[in-house]
């Protein structure tokens, strides 16, 4: 089951969100509700929430502040924003902090249910991908990668140590000639694993210990004669951790830049899909709802994004596209005005002529006389 937390300071909406949505049918379990952002934050941490429905405007800690706080957690929930504010800024900010969709009040519960279904699919896919990734990493650590020269050497019991700190980026420690080397891997599961590596593998190891997704690997050249020296080696590693703040700040800046890029990219991609839909179906009786569905986002969110990315409303954009097509047909073909009207999505020639004159400044026939060769 998908663990769900709901946050809204309006008791009636909070109750409706619990009762109207068929949570069990969607594979979800509402683990708790909150009247403010701070309560929601604590619940998300305690219940290991997968999905959060949150209002933007709440006392103490707002919805956006809540998303920012949750973004610092290693397992942050996917979020759907519910708001009475028809402002793109809120949606854009939410995108940066793991928000998947944006629903406007008064809530259209059918639309919200579609958003939840999409979120559930995303969470399940992400969980499956993460499981496969971790399984592949474990397999490669034992049988391939930097140890592929003689993988069987490393199929002896390893020494796992629980590591209390999240993965960070650290510098490599210079190797010591003539000594065995130990690779300490800080993975997303927050464990340290020591693997013995023969000296002849040193250059291969050095060449392949590079940043790979969530994993950070450290190479330390320390003369370890036995297991009794593991603890001092880890203590030495801890000293190196004292300098992690130097790298942490840079890592945060990089992460912030990446979030902004991904936020902008996801919005642009969604509207790009909508534009493709318009280009393919402009001659039909299309609606913003159809374009939003094609782009894979809610109609409320779509309206905000479309205006921000294109500078036009959906209707204005479609009208402009149709009139531009009509202008080319008037100049390049011998089609009659009513035929052109039908080809660009207008069944009423009179209405088409009115729209055309309003946009271009002249009637279709006047435009043809002026520009046709």
Residue 162 pLDDT exceeds 80: no
- Distance between CA atoms of residues 195 and 183, nearest Å: 6
Per-domain boundaries in the chain: 2-131, 155-242, 250-311, 316-371
pLDDT digits (tens, 9 = 90+) for 104-157: 888 888 889 999 999 999 888 877 766 566 555 544 544 444 434 433 343 333
**H-type alpha helices, 74-228:** 88-96, 109-143, 202-208
- Distance between CA atoms of residues 321 and 327, nearest Å: 10
Give the pLDDT of residue 127. Answer: 73
Tell which wins on pLDDT, 29 or 250: 29
- Distance between CA atoms of residues 310 and 317, nearest Å: 8
- Distance between CA atoms of residues 281 and 275, nearest Å: 10
- How many CA atoms lie within 13 Å of 203's alpha carbon, on the beta-carbon side? 1
Give the pLDDT of residue 257. Answer: 46
Tell which wins on pLDDT, 108 or 219: 108
Tell which wins on pLDDT, 268 or 74: 74
Is residue 321 within 8 A of residue 314, CB to CB? The reply is no
Give the pLDDT of residue 52. Answer: 96
Question: If you average pLDDT over residues 362-367, what whole number do you get?
Answer: 92
Give the pLDDT of residue 32. Answer: 92
Give the pLDDT of residue 195. Answer: 42
**326, burial (CB in 10 Å: exposed 0-12, middle 13-18, buried 19+):** buried
- Distance between CA atoms of residues 11 and 237, nearest Å: 51
Q: Largest Cα–Cα distance of the chain, in whole Å?
A: 94
Distance from the first to the final alpha carbon of the chain: 67
Residue 356 pLDDT exceeds 60: yes
Residue 182 pLDDT exceeds 60: no
CA-nearest of 232, 233, 246 to 171 is 246
pLDDT digits (tens, 9 = 90+) for 17-35: 988 898 988 989 899 999 9
Top mean-pLDDT range of 93-102, 121-130, 242-251, 331-340: 331-340
Q: Given pLDDT bands bounded at 50, 70 and 90, which one contains residue 53?
A: very high
Give the pLDDT of residue 164. Answer: 30
Give the pLDDT of residue 266. Answer: 66
- Distance between CA atoms of residues 293 and 300, nearest Å: 11
- Please give the DSSP secondary-structure letter assigned to residue 228: G
Q: Given pLDDT bands bounded at 50, 70 and 90, which one contains residue 47?
A: confident
Q: What number does CATH give the domain 2-131?
A: 3.40.50.2300
2-131 and 316-371 have identical folds: no
pLDDT digits (tens, 9 = 90+) for 269-324: 888 899 999 999 999 999 999 999 998 888 888 888 888 888 889 999 999 999 98
- Distance between CA atoms of residues 34 and 37, nearest Å: 7
Give the pLDDT of residue 139. Answer: 47
- Distance between CA atoms of residues 248 and 241, nearest Å: 11
Residue 4 pLDDT exceeds 80: yes
Give the pLDDT of residue 132. Answer: 60
- For domain 316-371, give its CATH number from 1.10.10.60, 3.30.43.10, 2.40.160.40, 3.40.50.300: 1.10.10.60
Residue 357 pLDDT exceeds 50: yes
pTM of the model: 0.47
Residue 206 pLDDT exceeds 70: no
């Amino acid at each position: 089951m998908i663990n769900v937390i709901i946050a809204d300071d309006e008791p009636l909406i909070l109750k409706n969100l619990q009762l109207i949505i068929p949570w069990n049918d969607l594979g979800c379990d509402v683990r708790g509700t909150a009247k403010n952002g701070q309560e929601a934050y604590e619940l998300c941490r305690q219940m290991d929430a997968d999905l959060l429905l949150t209002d933007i405007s709440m006392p103490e800690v707002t919805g956006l502040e809540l998303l920012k706080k949750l973004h610092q957690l290693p397992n942050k929930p996917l979020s759907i924003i519910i708001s009475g504010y028809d402002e793109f800024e809120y949606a854009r900010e939410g995108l940066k902090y793991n928000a998947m969709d944006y629903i406007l009040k008064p809530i259209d519960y059918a639309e919200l249910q579609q958003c939840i279904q999409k979120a559930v699919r995303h969470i399940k896919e992400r969980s499956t991908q993460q499981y496969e990734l971790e399984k592949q990493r474990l397999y490669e650590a034992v049988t391939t990668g930097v140890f592929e020269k003689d993988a069987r050497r490393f199929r002896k019991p390893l020494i796992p140590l629980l590591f209390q700190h999240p993965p960070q980026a650290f510098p490599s420690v210079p190797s010591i000639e003539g000594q065995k080397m130990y690779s300490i891997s800080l993975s997303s599961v927050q464990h340290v694993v020591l693997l013995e590596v023969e000296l002849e593998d040193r250059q291969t190891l050095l060449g392949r210990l590079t940043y790979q997704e969530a994993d950070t690997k450290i190479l330390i050249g320390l003369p370890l004669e036995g297991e009794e020296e593991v603890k001092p080696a880890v203590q030495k590693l801890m000293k190196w951790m004292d300098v992690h703040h130097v790298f942490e700040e840079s890592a945060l800046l990089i992460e912030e830049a990446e979030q902004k890029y991904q936020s902008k990219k996801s919005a642009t991609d969604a509207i790009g899909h909508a534009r493709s839909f318009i280009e393919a179906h402009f001659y039909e009786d299309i609606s913003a709802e159809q374009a939003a569905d094609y782009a894979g986002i809610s109609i409320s969110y779509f309206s905000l994004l479309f205006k921000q990315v294109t500078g036009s409303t959906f209707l204005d954009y479609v009208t402009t596209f149709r009139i531009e097509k009509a202008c080319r047909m008037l100049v390049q073909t011998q089609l009659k005005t009513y035929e052109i009207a039908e080809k660009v999505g207008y069944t009423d020639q009179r209405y088409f002529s009115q729209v055309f004159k309003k946009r271009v400044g002249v009637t279709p026939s006047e435009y043809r006389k002026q520009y046709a060769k």
